[in-house]
Structure 1
């Protein structure tokens, strides 16, 4: 009997230890409660200014543990949020001083104001606010808070224009990067996309004559030595670049005067993309100007499964993963270099989050389907949904992708 008692005590101890281990392991719960607090001055007059802020506080969603969530602010002019705008900044704490400039810009967008000339003064209005919470990389973690209202909000014209930089080189006659030459250099600008203002990703398509081509970039017209130059090296000596299969990608230096030199350019159009976030330049022979064209996004293993949200960092990331409707016919195309064992993706028509209803894939269910290529080509059906396409054993390489959203078909072609 004594032995049985000892064994029973040991068993209880083991179970207790296991229970302790299980209790200390974080367990994710799909959140159901998330509250945005109404500010004490919600009924007072708010005049938005470029330097001002609006203080908002909220509770942490009930994830089941103290999760490191990300919070984004959404605003609307109507309580039902039939149309809304998510602000660019995100927050990691439950207490935020939201930039008034971002709120004012969102109001202008919701009013349908596209340029400064369209803006008209209006009286203070009711502004409805809610918060979107999510844990990056965890599907099902997204939750939207309750809606609060600020009764009297007066905005200002906060419409942003697309930023640009200049291409300076022998193709433009080495016209100096001076303010006095702004008109002469207007045709040698690379612009941010109209849909990605503030991204610091600039692109342009230029017709360059055959022969030696030399150029670098300037972010401002402050002269040759004004510190605004961007090149391949600090020294003022050109660096030869070779296009492989009509394309090249190089690392930039800022400030830097080392120009890009293509000794034997065949002549014709060249698309140039300068990403000032990671200081890279991409050159593409025969490129097409995509500014103003509709686009969708590739989301999946090649793009790192980054959440397809409109927060500034994510939107900038997905600038490199766009497919464009070049013919305005609902067919989106692009060619991507997809690493080995990373051929799994779907598409998103907008950056509205994992569960924002903008996904377009192989099936409705959030499960990948395996595909095969015949003679380097896959053609199949597509639908509004979260099913990805997966090609097992992919060895890596370039893939030309066509997405026909009118006929719900996709084609993947190995290049």
Structure 2
């Protein structure tokens, strides 16, 4: 007979005992640099399900690192699906996630929604965007990282504890991913009157992209709707500059280095609000498919030439065979998620489940190319043509 689990739906998952470590010191304490410290295993962890969607927090306690004297200490929570935590290398990412919230006491209430979303992102990173979440509780491993507050001294990690039965959910709140995203700024219009709509990433709710030319020191903001000005000082925003655009600013985002960039926004509902990650990718556009001799990979041979000016055209390499033209941007996702075509001379971004051909969208969406043909794209005007 299986042992039943009790699902915890209380305000917190509590530990029965709080432990603190203090060491008597004289008037001239000497700083110890400990290698580790103790994180306590919750007393009920083995026999209860941590239902992160229906709980408010997960309580953890630890013994303060032995610095040789009492010191204000900062803690961060690490979570992984592997008991053995591994750090990032040039070949692979770390196999754990670090929660954003910083704790300042040895008893900490970890926000259940934050933990759920961090694990959800980690699950996707490990298993792929299309991987289904397990319907049953799974094992999650936790450790803490500590340092003396306000410094980089005394940095160390705790032992690893296991929570054998954690239930992860796709959503921990009623807030749905945004359906639209806009960007506004001096690179579009000096008066900041133009709100440029961004294309949605196919099959990825809350993710959007747009190819934009930024003048040197352009300033911009973005929003899920027009007149919602989200700037760089918004604590919901994380910036990733993968193109060397040089992102700075105090209120408006500033792009220091002029050029074409693929501007990408990912919005994730966390509790009752969004968290945004904006990424600047290099301006890389590619031909794929039959007209390339069946190349279905990002290879330099099929990369469009990038114009030097805002009004210039991206120009494809000459096609080598007949067939349907397939085009896309390069990001960290599968190529077809940022695929596009031309329809009546305008750039049209993929918004449907394309199986074999753009003809499935309707008349005029499939471009037929032949050896020697090239595609020219003007992303400022939103137009293109085959020549």
TM-score by length of 1: 0.41
TM-score by length of 2: 0.44
Q: Which has the higher helix share?
A: 1
Higher relative contact order (CA 8 A, sep 6+): 2
